[in-house]
Amino acid sequence: MDALIAGIASVMTFEPLLAIAIGVAIGIFMGAIPGLHAAMAIALLSPLTFGMQPITAIAFLTGIYKGGTYGGSISAILLNTPGSPEATASAFDGYPLAKAGKAKKALQMALYASVAGALLADILLYLVAAPFSTFALKFGPTEITFVVLFAFTFVAGLTGDSMLRGLAACAFGVLCAMVGLDPMSATPRLNFGFIELQDGLPLLPIAIGMLGVTEVMFAVERGLERRRLSRGHNQNNDRDNRSTAVPEPISSTGGEALSIAEFLGHWKTILRSSLIGSGIGALPGIGAAMAAFLGYGTAKKYSRTPDEYGKGTLDGVAAPEAANSAVVGGSFVPLLTLGIPGNVTTALLIGTFLVHGIEPGPHVFKTQPTLIYGIFTILFVANFFNLLIGLLGSNLYSHIVKVPEYITYSVIALTCVAGVYASSNDFFNIYLMIIFSIVGYLMKKFDYSFVAFLIGFVLAPEFEVAFRSFLLVAQGNPIGLMVKSPIALFFFALTVMAIVRIAWTAGRKAKL
């Protein structure tokens, strides 16, 4: 109880609360602009947190995560162009509602459903995380080896259209993590004579390069393509230009406000989607986009009027928004209890945790309980800031989404360079950022999952130490040691089942 009170008190001070508010506002802003998202904002702004107190830094980045998840629905509803992948399903009914003069009602439903879904997920996190961490304390090198192996397989199979490409991306992430000193013998490896790589490849330049700069490169490519099309004068080119044009934004102040009775009329959908999002968030690698589509599909399945979906029903906005926002709370379960990131955003948060001397995992519940309860409080409080800032900024939405791409991406490019340099005062990291931005561009072009790469990169050091310790303890009999551990056997069976299931699904797709 003392730790709970201390954790709440540590957040309920001026700096953490201000950090949450600023983070939520930035997250909504970044999420509302098509092509940007919370993960990119966290990658760009992580260097700003290095001089902050740990609880303030976590508050700032968590606020961005919460705000960005909701912000994607703004452009989805007003422009029919999702600001982030998880908001795609929100456009199915949000945009028809906006065109019908109900933009304000659709945006408010998205906001209220997001907050409700996130609150339910955070309550579940509070109830589940501590008991699960007690169970996770039983994990030794054997158990951790097979848990992380399952995470690799699961992520690789579910984050792209091809399991082989997912495994290749994950393996490439593991390879990049091998650069630096051997964790057991302290001998240099794969550094090619560069002293700067003695401590390994830093996460921040890689993340900023593959998230931020890569997106700038695609924006430049889109601009060049539009310019090429605009030079043509024949009918085909004109038709192409019209098809690539962004729809005119609809005023966010249009129509009536959402009543409490209308919102409560969708409580079953919101509750169902929140549980779906919480469950998916707790599984590594699936992500909020799949949760949103699953929430939307489930709501349509159980609806009495499924024919209305896609034509402009509030239920079609509530379902995906509650689901994708619930993923935030769910993703903190594996992050805090096992140290395994559930998605790109939590993988970036691990980097910030480590900078501040916090190592996520079951031991942190015993060694730093005040911090854990502080994080729970941050997640909970951020929902109310999301609601408040979302309502106060509603009149600005139609202006945010009209910001020209060349301005937005010019600022992002400058921020990428400044952020990487500020984090280390070293030009070598800028070179790394440029190299990995090209790698990220090629990976995206050829459908190699960045999520699989990043989670492989983040988890590889823990997996290597656990796996080599497992082999040392096994003394030439790894199967015998695995059989003695029910937890290891369970996750080994899950890994085999995941490989078989994913391969079977891929085979069916190939036949079709």
Half-sphere exposure of 370 toward its Cβ, with a 13 Å CA cutoff? Answer: 9
Q: What is the Cα–Cα distance from 169 to 490, expressed in whole angstroms?
A: 26
pLDDT at 248: 52
Count of domains for the chain: 1
Chain CA centroid to CA 320, Å: 15
Residue 336 has pLDDT above 80, yes or no: yes
From CA 63, how far away is CA 56, in angstroms rounded? 10
Range of the domain at 101: 2-511
Average pLDDT over residues 230-238: 59
| Closest CA relative to residue 89, chosen from 331, 383, 300, 402 | 300
Top-ranked range on mean pLDDT: pick from 275-284, 313-322, 332-341: 313-322
> Mapping DSSP to helix (H, G, I), strand (E, B) and coil, where does residue 180 land?
strand
Task: Look at residue 279 in the predicted model and tell me its pLDDT.
Answer: 85
- Looking at the predicted structure, is the pLDDT value of residue 242 above 50? no
* pLDDT tops 50 at residue 243: no
Do the Cβ atoms of 457 and 173 come closer than 8 Å? yes
Average pLDDT over residues 64-87: 82
In the predicted model, is pLDDT for residue 240 greater than 60?
no
Q: Say what the pLDDT of residue 348 is.
A: 83
Higher pLDDT, residue 137 or 407: 407
Token pair 């968590």 in the structure block, residue = 62
Check residue 35 and give its pLDDT: 64
Indicate whether 272 pLDDT > 80: yes
Average pLDDT rounded to a whole number, residues 382-389: 94
Higher pLDDT pick, 284 / 48: 48
Better-scored residue on pLDDT, 165 or 326? 326
Q: Which of 107-121, 136-150, 308-322, 439-453 shows the lowest per-residue confidence on average (mean pLDDT)?
A: 136-150
pLDDT at 158: 57
- pLDDT at site 398: 58
pLDDT tens digits for 11-69?
Answer: 999 999 999 999 999 998 888 876 677 888 888 888 888 888 999 999 999 999 999 88
pLDDT of residue 406: 78
Rounded mean pLDDT of the chain? 82
**pLDDT beyond 90 at 309:** no
Percent of the chain with pLDDT over 90: 19
| pLDDT value of position 508 | 67
Percentage of the chain surpassing pLDDT 70? Answer: 88
CA 183, 353, 114, 411 torsion-angle sign: negative
* pTM of the model as a whole: 0.75
Please list the residues that pair with 189 across neighbouring strands. 180
Say if strands 188-189 and 180-181 run parallel, antiparallel, or are unpaired: antiparallel
User: Which of the pair, 386 or 84, is modelled with greater confidence?
Assistant: 386
Classify 243 as helix, strand or coil.
Answer: helix
| pLDDT at 247 exceeding the cut of 60 | no
Mean pLDDT, range 458-485, rounded to an integer: 86
